[in-house]
Amino acid sequence: MEVKKVLLTEDEMPRQWYNILADIKMNPPLGPDGQPVTPEALAPVFPMNLIEQEVSSDRWIDIPEKVLEVLSIWRPSPLVRARALEKYLDTPARIYFKNEGVSPPGSHKPNTAVPQAYYNKVFGIEKMTTETGAGQWGSALSFACSQFGIECKVFMVRVSFDQKPYRKSMMEAWGGKCVASPSTETNAGRNALENDPDTPGSLGIAISEAIEAAVSDESGKTRYSLGSVLNHVMLHQTIIGLEAKKQLEKIGEYPDVVIACAGGGSNFAGLAFPFVYDKIHGKNIDIYPYEPTACPTLTKAPFVYDHGDTARYTPLLPMHSLGHAFVPPPIHAGGLRYHGMSPTVSQLVNEGIIEAKSATQLDAYKAGVIFARTEGFIPAPETNHALAGVIDAAKKAKEEGKEKVILFNWSGHGLIDLSAYDKYFAGELYNFVLTDEEMSASEKVFEKFPKPQIIKNR
């Protein structure tokens, strides 16, 4: 019988995270004065032990044993050969996927939620606040906080709050409290509702609310947690790619193509960054982040300094951005509805180390259904965008007659997203393609901000 799954033992789980800041130089985040942000300026928002990881240039950072204990509930995750998909596509490519849907919340998100909750706990924090788009991150942080005895409050983007009611149920099952954003609980939420009472909300607004809720707690025992974008989040997720490397080595394989969906960058970075390290050091490999055409942050937006949230509470980040006031169309891939992109991912695009691509909502769902009917697992809407890229790469391998190895991140299951599949089967989903006019209007918000340097590391 040919290998279908490649497994690692708990003892083979990586004991260190890979930090890409050891291998690339970046523009620094800027404060209100236009100067680089100091760690002390971030202290009201994040615990100092996470801030130290955020600014570290050490290539390898040890994973605490308490974190490994919780991660071992589901990790190491399986590497699976998608043989049925290969057969359906009639491709010479060998397709492998890292199944991150096996975690308790059903996605890759706990890979960073668990260490973030741990570091907050040892710092003496009693309550954490966060935002969530599709609800995967809010579910993951609620789960992680339950493991360490921390309160959790989640501001969930209104359109997803309405589309995915069972995400709220998941958060509450783990003790989390979930409110729709924009809410009337914060100044940022009230201002957003005043500007547009019918707004579908955005991750930018929800981030503003969560930060405001954290820093306004007079007890000093609350901190904010971000599920993507920042370097310490990318760092924690690299356990995915590090495991995948070990698993491929066991069967004598190495990828020609690496693919993952990209909203803020976390699941993409988690799989791709260990292979980016190889590419920086001479490997020939194609690496593609896939995003929605409705929110084309990497494929169309400029590289600028912009805020990570709508109310401009965050520092100015050097990233590809559609503008912090941008409210994306209400596509069902809520985790990909973010105006900006991780600065580290943005930097790699700028240098041509990775190449960003996009998929329409309908092409993404078509790909997800093909996967479900061949491999059995029903993917999350976000994961469907990666699958659209995998199918394109497999077809290209067939056209070229090359036996390429394609590796992608199956970042989560879609069992809480079945209402979206209902709409797809009923013909009620549509493609959204952002127009140049819409982009120009959105991008005016950062015209007065400083311009980042174009840094080339190689």
- 13-36 burial code (b ≥16 CB/10 A, e <16): bbeebbbbbebbebbebbeeeeee
When mean pLDDT is compared across 12-26, 33-47, 48-62, 322-336, the lowest value belongs to: 322-336
Domains of the chain, by residue range, sit at 64-106+232-446
Residue 319 pLDDT exceeds 70: yes
Q: How far apart are CA 260 and CA 271, in angstroms?
A: 7
pLDDT tens per residue across span 399-425: 999 999 999 999 999 998 898 999 999
pLDDT tens per residue across span 150-175: 999 999 999 889 888 899 999 999 99
What's the average model confidence in pLDDT over 311-339?
Answer: 84
What's the average model confidence in pLDDT over 353-373?
Answer: 97
Question: What would the CATH number be for the domain defined by 64-106+232-446?
Answer: 3.40.50.1100
Would you state the pLDDT for residue 331? 72
Alpha helices, DSSP H only, in 340-403?
343-350, 361-375, 381-400
Q: How confident is the model at residue 451 (pLDDT cuts 50, 70, 90)?
A: very high
pLDDT tens per residue across span 262-315: 999 999 999 999 999 999 999 999 999 999 999 999 999 999 999 988 888 889
Q: How far apart are CA 207 and CA 202, in angstroms?
A: 9
**Per-chain mean pLDDT for the chain:** 94
Q: How far apart are CA 200 and CA 175, in angstroms?
A: 26
Would you state the pLDDT for residue 327? 79
CB 89 within 8 Å of CB 395: yes
- Residue % of the chain over a pLDDT of 90: 83
Would you state the pLDDT for residue 247? 98
Would you state the pLDDT for residue 1? 56
pTM for this prediction: 0.95
Q: How confident is the model at residue 57 (pLDDT cuts 50, 70, 90)?
A: very high
Residue 199 pLDDT exceeds 80: yes
If one counts every other C-beta atom within 10 angstroms of the C-beta of residue 146, the result is: 18
Q: How far apart are CA 414 and CA 261, in angstroms?
A: 14
Residue 458 pLDDT exceeds 80: no
Residue 371 pLDDT exceeds 70: yes
Q: How far is CA 2 from CA 5, 9, 77, 81, 245, in A?
A: 9, 20, 19, 10, 20
| Helix or strand holding residue 143 (H, E) | helix 136-148
